[in-house]
Amino acid sequence: MNNTTGNINSPRSGYTGTQRMVVSDAQYTVTEHDGGSLIRMTAAAGTQFVLLGADVGAGFYVDVVREGAGSTIAFNATDPAVTVRSRGDRTELNGQYAKARATCIAPGEWVLDGDLTAGG
C-alpha cells in the first residue's frame, strides 16, 4: 500500500487556498483527518474501495478521483450501521479521471455525487 499526502497549491496556480491531497494505490479508509481532502486512487488494476465510516460529523466531505486506467474505485461503508446513498445506487467512479464527492449528512450517513456509475 502506498499512501502519500501533500499540498496541491503551487506558486503559479493562482489558487490561494490549500487542499490536502492523499495518494493511494490500495483500499483507503476515510478518517476525520481527511476532511476536504482530494483522494487520488492510482492503482492500475483490480477493485479498490474508499471506505466511509461513522466517525465524522455532518458537512464533512472528501473528493475522490480515479487515476488508474484499469482499476475500479467503489465507495463502501466500514460497517453495516453506515449508510451510503446515491442517485440510482451509483457507487463506482465512472472510468479513469472520474471524480466524485462523498459528503456526510448525518453521523453514519453519506451521500455521493459526481461522475458515478452503478456497480457491477
Q: Which of 9, 6, 37, 40 is nearest to 23 (CA)?
A: 40
Q: What number of other Cβ atoms are within 10 A of residue 44's Cβ?
A: 10
Instruction: Say if residues 99 and 64 touch (Cβ distance below 8 Å).
Output: yes
Q: Could you tell me the pTM of the whole model?
A: 0.82
Fold of 18-114: Jelly Rolls (2.60.120)
pLDDT > 80? residue 56: yes
Q: Tens of pLDDT along 12-30?
A: 444 456 678 888 888 999 9
Instruction: Output the pLDDT for position 26.
Output: 86
Q: What is the 3-state secondary structure (H, E, C) of the chain?
A: CCEEEEECCCCCCCCCCCCEEEEECCCEECCHHHCCCEEEECCCEEEEEEEECCCCCCCCEEEEEECCCEEEEEEEECCCCCEEECHHHEEEECCCCCEEEEEEEECCEEEEEECEEECC
Domain locations in the chain as residue ranges: 18-114
Instruction: Output the pLDDT for position 44.
Output: 86
pLDDT above 90: percentage of residues in the chain: 62
